[in-house]
Amino acid sequence: MGVITDNWDLWVDATVGTLQIFFFGLIIALVLGFIVGAMRVSPIPIARWVGTAYVNLVRNTPLTLMFFVFAFAVPVVFEIRDLRLLGILAIGLYTATYVAETLRSGINTVPVGQAEAARAVGMSFTQVMGHIVLPQAARSVIPPMMSVIIAFLKNTTVAAGFSIMNLGSIRAYLSERGENAMVVLLWVALVFVVMVFALSGVQRYLEKKWRVAR
Amino acid sequence: MSGGASVLYDVPGPKAIARNRILGGLVVVVVLAAFAFTIFRLADSGQFSAEKWEAFTYPFIWQNIGLALLRTLSAFVLSAVGALVLGFLLAVARLSTVRVLSIPATVVTEVLRAIPVLVLMMLLYYGFGSIGVPMSSFAAVVIALIAYNGSVLAEVFRAGVESLPKGQGEAGFAIGMTSRQVMNLILMPQAVRAMMPVIIAQLVVTLKDTALGFVITYNELLYYARYLMSQTTLGNPIIPSILIIGAIYIILCLLLSWLAHTVQKRTSRSVKVKVKVAAHHPGNPGGATDTQMMAAQDVGTDDQTGHSQAGG
């Protein structure tokens, strides 16, 4: 416990850092992912191609490389130098592709006949979407989306390699203060296990809650 | 989705076609503008000057890139094989009716999956170093990747086995097979086949995650890229290094993904898998874990970044 209570300031900084990356990155990932997901299922061929190209390119790129681009290349080319902002952008843009794919596959689980039947009984476009397609899609999207969010939370540690303060980088600071790296890292691991288990619990709850309905 | 009807919209009429063309034009304009701006900025900051690219005219640099690539690939191959073996063992243990096996296997799988790979790598590299059991960065990368991906693959195998009709195992027991024979001869082969796309997608994740070795100073591709960038005598070729090393990574992953896609196509031609997919009717993900759903939905499944949470 001493490792935590003696270095309270650093642990608070690190946790706040991780949560900052998590929340702001998640906002970027969800908004951009929603746009790209919509592009990938849109009736406009060019939008579909652009969406597909983005998803395929970024998903075949290691997250570390995304951080390379944002931490080393963007400052030179675009003269943005706020590392924390760049890190959030890197991980947000990376996770957006996973969000987009989850949305797309969720929409694809709804059989075409559902929408056709709705149109056949005279529903308008908004009614078809609001009453028939999206509620069904949402049910199958939420559990895998939670998996994406959990993976995203764990991925925030990669920022540690690029001098952005978060739970992944706390070891370097505490080693300077003479703490044992093993103890520090076991605590970090425990924090993540607790956070991930909490999110998994939410996921299981949602999965169960929506399993009944059909 | 090739211009035909989709669940979201009808086949477009003349009005919709006109509107779609305008929106399509808008997308083109936005994308081209973003590209043009980036290229303008790149040119403006002198990234296209010959001296920035000079480093990549030297054969010895390419030789070093080749060596770094080999180190990336050797970490990947070793991790992939190890993760498959560990995943198989953990899945069998977790599915076992012997509690002494299944409970520890469950705990290990769940905990390993919850720890970020990078923290696992640091734990092995810095943690064990600090208690007097130093480990090479290569060993740390490989062991961490085996532990993490092994536990994820264990869940994939388990989901695969649990998605099989109950009669499969029962029939095996009925003709007098032992539970080990049932697992190895009947359940696992079918589970592996059904889960092949997910398994290969997880291997792509493993390949991508070798890049985390950069953070714990494993001398792989990105580490070498970082080294090149810091060489003032070569003019700090930041953009060229990222472009070239990035291209190598993307090509490697695309090759593996392409393999995943080919295998996916081949397995979905199989009769058994078709039955399985029909059982999980797309409109009813009710009983399916998301790993099963991913398999049934023909998703690019590495989107779980290794966190295929199985609910069943």
**Can you give the CATH number for the domain in which B221 is found?**
1.10.3720.10
pLDDT tier for residue B104 given thresholds of 50, 70 and 90: very high
Whole-Å CA distances, A147 to A75, A106, A158, A194, B83: 32, 14, 18, 15, 20
Please answer yes or no on whether B130 and A105 come within 8 Å at the CB atom. Answer: no
Rounded-to-integer distance, Cα B274 and Cα B228, Å: 50
Secondary structure (3-state) at A88? helix
- Express each pLDDT in B208-243 by its tens digit: 999 999 998 888 899 999 888 888 888 788 888 888
Rounded-to-integer distance, Cα B298 and Cα B293, Å: 8
Please answer yes or no on whether B225 and A68 come within 8 Å at the CB atom. Answer: yes
If contacts are CB pairs under 8 Å, which of residues 69-108 in chain A contact chain B?
Answer: 69, 72-73, 76-78, 97-98, 101-102, 104-105, 107-108
The CA distance from B19 to the nearest CA of chain A, in Å, is 9
Q: Tell me: do B137 and B224 sit in the same domain.
A: yes
Residue of A nearest to B124 (CA): A182
> Is residue B304 pLDDT above 60, yes or no?
no
> Is residue B191 pLDDT above 80, yes or no?
yes
- Phi/psi zone of residue A151: left (φ > 0), alpha (ψ -120 to 50 degrees), beta? alpha
Q: Tell me: do B35 and B70 sit in the same domain.
A: no
Q: Tell me: do B70 and B124 sit in the same domain.
A: yes
Rounded-to-integer distance, Cα B301 and Cα B303, Å: 5
For B51-58, the CB contacts below 8 A with 24+ separation are B51/B235, B52/B235, B52/B237, B52/B239, B52/B240, B53/B237, B53/B240, B54/B234, B54/B235, B54/B237, B55/B228, B55/B231, B55/B234, B55/B235, B55/B237, B55/B240, B55/B241, B56/B237, B56/B240, B56/B244
- Say whether residue A59 is in contact with chain B using an 8 A CB cutoff: yes
Instruction: Give this prediction's pTM.
Output: 0.84
The CA distance from B18 to the nearest CA of chain A, in Å, is 11
Residue of A nearest to B295 (CA): A105
Which residues span the domain enclosing B23?
14-45
Residue B311 included in any domain: no
Q: Is there a contact between B292 and B159 (Cβ–Cβ < 8 Å)?
A: yes
Residue B2 included in any domain: no
ipTM of the prediction: 0.88
Residue B152 included in any domain: yes
> Domains in chain A, ordered, with CATH?
2-211 (1.10.3720.10)
Rounded-to-integer distance, Cα A75 and Cα A63, Å: 18
Mean pLDDT of B194-203: 85
Residue B25 included in any domain: yes
Q: Tell me: do B180 and B88 sit in the same domain.
A: yes
> Is residue B199 pLDDT above 80, yes or no?
yes
Q: Tell me: do B38 and B69 sit in the same domain.
A: no
Residue B52 included in any domain: no
- Say whether residue A43 is in contact with chain B using an 8 A CB cutoff: yes
Mutate: best of B2, B7, B42, B124, partner A, most A CBs <10 A: B7
| Number of structural domains in chain B | 2
Q: Tell me: do B23 and B67 sit in the same domain.
A: no
**Model pLDDT, residue B268:** 65
Q: Tell me: do B213 and B266 sit in the same domain.
A: yes
Q: Give percent of chain B above pLDDT 70.
A: 83
Inter-helix orientation angle B238-268/B271-279, to 10°? 100
Residue B309 included in any domain: no
Which residue did the predictor score with more confidence, B173 or B97?
Answer: B173
Q: Tell me: do B27 and B174 sit in the same domain.
A: no
Which residue did the predictor score with more confidence, B308 or A189?
Answer: A189
Q: What is the mean pLDDT of chain B?
A: 81
**Model pLDDT, residue B232:** 81
Residue B5 included in any domain: no
Q: Is there a contact between A199 and A153 (Cβ–Cβ < 8 Å)?
A: yes
Q: Tell me: do B224 and B299 sit in the same domain.
A: yes
Question: Cβ contacts (< 8 Å) between A182 and chain B: which residues?
Answer: 123, 126-128, 130-131
Inter-helix orientation angle A134-155/B290-297, to 10°? 110
Q: Tell me: do B32 and B175 sit in the same domain.
A: no
Q: Tell me: do B19 and B125 sit in the same domain.
A: no
- Express each pLDDT in B158-189 by its tens digit: 989 988 888 998 999 999 998 888 988 999 88
Question: Cβ contacts (< 8 Å) between B282 and chain A: which residues?
Answer: 108-111
Helices (H) and strands (E) in chain A, counts: 11, 0
Whole-Å CA distances, B95 to B70, B105, B183, B207, B310: 37, 9, 9, 28, 13
Question: Cβ contacts (< 8 Å) between A62 and chain B: which residues?
Answer: 208-212, 222, 249
**pLDDT (tens place) for every residue of chain A, 214 residues total:** 677 777 888 889 899 999 999 999 999 999 999 999 988 888 888 889 999 999 989 988 999 999 999 988 888 888 888 888 999 999 999 999 999 999 988 888 888 888 889 888 988 888 888 888 888 888 888 888 988 999 999 999 999 888 888 888 888 888 888 888 888 899 999 999 999 999 999 988 888 887 645 4
Q: Which two tokens stand for residue A152?
A: 């995203």
Rounded-to-integer distance, Cα B158 and Cα B142, Å: 23
Q: Which two tokens stand for residue B15?
A: 């009005």
Q: Tell me: do B85 and B201 sit in the same domain.
A: yes
Please answer yes or no on whether B286 and A214 come within 8 Å at the CB atom. Answer: yes
**Model pLDDT, residue A206:** 86
Residue B277 included in any domain: yes
Question: Cβ contacts (< 8 Å) between A110 and chain B: which residues?
Answer: 7, 282-283
| Phi, psi for B11 (deg, rounded to 5) | -60, 125
Rounded-to-integer distance, Cα A186 and Cα B131, Å: 13
Residue B35, Cβ neighbours under 10 Å: how many? 10
